Homo-oligomer: A and B are copies of this chain.
Amino acid sequence: MGSLGDVQAQAMAFAEPLPLKSGAQLAGYTLVYETYGRLNADKSNAVLVCHALNASHHVAGTYAGEPRSEGWWDNLVGPGKPLDTDRFFVIGVNNPGSCFGSTGPMHVNPATGRIWGADFPVVTVEDWVDAQARLLDRLGIAQLAAVLGGSLGGMQALSWSLRHPERLRLCIAVATAPNLSAQNIAFNEVARRAIVTDPEFHGGHFYAHGVVPKRGLRVARMIGHITYLSDDAMEMKFGRSLRAAELGYSTQEIEFEIESYLRHQGDKFSEYFDANTYLLITRALDYFDPAREHGGDLTRAFAGAKCRFQLVSFTTDWRFSPARSREIVKALLDNRHRVSYAEIAAPHGHDAFLLDDARYHGVLRACFDNLAKEVGA
């Protein structure tokens, strides 16, 4: 297994507006994307990788001259890796509304000449999937071998099976859910309130003030991190370890290692992530609910799907628990769709979907091996 080595991002501009689920539309926009491997002659070996909250089109490989610039799923995607770029043509695309290159709230709204900020239209999982489909049109790919995603990326993979059922053979949805629970929404809402009530948010137009609502972003990220890790993983990694040899008896100074870790994560995040993007992406999570348009019946929601499905969940993931994946599996089986489901015993909580676990990667490797035979890759 090797690395992809250096890769390059590309950009594609779309002049035709994108109609959004909200009824609004996104005028001319640009999508930034990367591809790895080669599209075969009959264009049957393309795999789309969808990203979650804090990720981008940079799925694998490195950027020239940038040490430690590996893509977020580099352990999975590359020559000889479970998603083998010697056989598949892999596409990563940054979603509109994100802050990593595709048109987003920090760009200029052509209609006003001002930075979008909080006026960027609310985008949904379905809107992202439609934008991705347009990119595939332009790349000349009629049908994907697979769509793969974890967490919010898994929601996009599921949405592909519903909105463009003929355009994928296999949907791989990892550590995801058919919708957010009240508790999930609650955590998102606290994070959003922390950002929106930061005085430096300026109603979402902080760019004009030359400031960034870093306090809010830090708190949002700290909350997120707690929910990505399992209680046990946090206990094993940090427990009650102290920073110093003795207690300092302070309410504001760091005493425990877990505090140091969380503050560091919050600080890092606030340096590069856009506050409006955080609001948009957490809202896209909140809104995703394919059963909603079918009277809350998930089985009916999946009636029109055509592809095969691979679901994966992790035992200690309390953000998107195995029970939520099983709801999807049940709805698929009710429809007699072809579905395989792996529940991986892993201690890492939600974060497990990004880690190199032998059983998990074994499942995906087998999945892609079979797919390669099927599409002649």
Which A residues form the contact surface with B (CB < 8 A)?
Answer: 21-24, 118, 122, 179-183, 185-187, 189-190, 192-194, 196-199, 204, 215, 218-219, 222-223, 225-226, 229, 231, 234-235, 237-240, 247, 249-252, 255-256, 258-259, 262-263, 266, 276, 279-280, 282-283, 286-287, 289, 318
Contacts and interface: CB of A to CB of B under 8 A. Distances in A.
Contacts of A189: 222, 256, 258-259, 262-263
Contacts of A255: 286
Contacts of A186: 222, 225-226, 234, 258-259, 262
A262 B186 CA distance: 8
Contacts of A226: 183, 186-187, 190
A263 B193 contact: yes
A266 B194 CA distance: 12
Contact of A190 (B198, B223, B251, B256): B223
Given A118-B252, A193-B222, 18 more contacts: A118-B251, A122-B249, A179-B240, A181-B235, A183-B226, A185-B256, A186-B222, A190-B219, A190-B226, A193-B218, A193-B263, A194-B219, A223-B223, A240-B289, A247-B287, A251-B283, A252-B279, A255-B286
B192 A252 contact: yes
| Count of chain copies | 2
Contact of A199 (B199, B240, B282, B289): B199
Contacts of A252: 118, 192, 196, 204, 279
Contacts of A289: 240
A179 B235 CA distance: 12
Closest 6 CB pairs of A and B: A22-B249, A251-B279, A182-B234, A197-B215, A122-B249, A182-B238
A356 to B, nearest CB: 23
A198 B197 CA distance: 9
A281 to B, nearest CB: 10
26 contacts: A22-B249, A122-B251, A179-B240, A180-B240, A181-B231, A182-B231, A182-B234, A182-B258, A183-B231, A185-B258, A186-B226, A186-B258, A186-B259, A187-B226, A189-B258, A189-B259, A189-B262, A189-B263, A192-B252, A194-B194, A197-B219, A223-B223, A251-B276, A251-B279, A251-B282, A256-B286
Residue of A218, A219, A282, A287 with highest tally of chain B CB at under 10 A: A219
A263 B250 CA distance: 29
A185 B240 contact: yes
Contacts of A204: 252
Contact of A235 (B183, B237, B276): B183
A126 to B, nearest CB: 12
Contacts of A181: 231, 234-235
A218 B231 contact: no
Contacts of A318: 231
A364 B36 CA distance: 65
A218 to B, nearest CB: 7
Contacts of A235: 181-183
A23 B247 CA distance: 11
A223 B193 CA distance: 11
Residue of A180, A189, A263 with highest tally of chain B CB at under 10 A: A189
